[in-house]
Amino acid sequence: MPLHIQTPLLTSQPLSLAAGASVLLKLDALQPAGSFKIRGIGYACEEYARRGKRRFISSSGGNAGIAVAYAARRLGLPAIVIVPQTTTQRAKDLIALEGAEVIVHGATWQEANGKALSLVGETDAFIHPFDDPLLWTGHATVIDEIVAAGEEPDAVVLSVGGGGLLCGVHEGLRRNGLAHVPIIAVETEGAASLAQSVKAGRRIELDAIRSVATSLGAKQVSEQAFALAMTADIRPVTVTDHAAVTACKRFLDDHRVLVEPACGASLAPVYDHAAVLNGFSKVLVIVCGGVGVTAFQLDQFLAAA
């Protein structure tokens, strides 16, 4: 059995009314590790364990680190997660709760990642938060489940950080004969490495992340995500932090599910009836989840905006 679960797929009346189209929600916020990350990370961890790896090492101050820790516990193997100094105590506690060793190193994810790579030995597997084909294959199962349920959306809306979910959803669409379906790739304005790369025609690196949606805080998207954005029907969209957090609040009221601003980013254009959705009749939103925020923090974000 895979380490992820098959999550609910439902039609949202509130979002459908807001968007003027039928809106399907794939509720990966309900995964046991709190986000879609366990699909790809679970698949990768299982594969590396089959190859004889005896320990997992990763670098993440958020959902990927929690997913690695969860997968390691389920597989009965140790894990070390290197987190940057900016990681919240809540995230560190959640990683430790799953039994992983947490090491704080560096001011940024890049520095934490360098430390993680330096620790990898012969029997260790390095689990990248977003840039590994094994992850994309695991993330693609989200589309397998939707097709198995008899649904074929004419657009998919998702959030983009490093691009792992984007690559996985594209793979899932392609292997289910739906490669023609456009992907609306949403980022917050302060973490828009994909949108800015597409605009520049080259893969750029942001000088800093200026967004409360810290789970989208990859200063550079993966090469594969950028390549897809330049060759497939990928439509980058940016939203403000205020719009992302407001969407989280509305979603909590409408569906009683708390998600991070990183997930709220993909909900925002649907709630706001963005022009990018015009002409579509059945829109799928990947509710990617995230465990790095509380309802109180959402209120704080809005008050500060």
CATH classification of 38-129 is 3.40.50.1100, yes or no?
yes
* Span 3-55, pLDDT tens digits: 999 999 999 999 999 999 999 999 999 999 999 999 999 999 999 999 999 99
Mean pLDDT of the chain: 96
Share of the chain above pLDDT 90, in %: 90
Residue with tokens 């597997």: 125
Amino acid identity for residue 155 in this structure: A
CA 96, 44, 262, 282: dihedral to nearest 10 degrees? Answer: -140
R_g (Cα) of the chain, nearest Å: 18
* Span 210-266, pLDDT tens digits: 999 988 888 999 999 999 999 999 999 999 999 999 999 999 999 999 999 999 999
pLDDT band of residue 61 (cuts 50, 70, 90) is confident
* Span 170-205, pLDDT tens digits: 999 999 999 999 999 999 999 999 999 999 999 999
pLDDT band of residue 107 (cuts 50, 70, 90) is confident
What is the DSSP-derived secondary structure letter of residue 248?
H
**What does the pLDDT read at residue 256?**
97
* Span 31-44, pLDDT tens digits: 999 999 999 999 99
CATH 3.40.50.1100 spans which residues of the chain?
A: 9-36+134-304, 38-129
Task: Please give the Cα distance from 147 to 85 (Å, whole number).
Answer: 41
pLDDT band of residue 108 (cuts 50, 70, 90) is confident
Residue 94's contacts (CB-CB under 8 Å, 6 or more residues apart) are 34, 66, 69, 291
- Give the CATH class of 9-36+134-304: alpha beta
- Global pTM reads 0.95
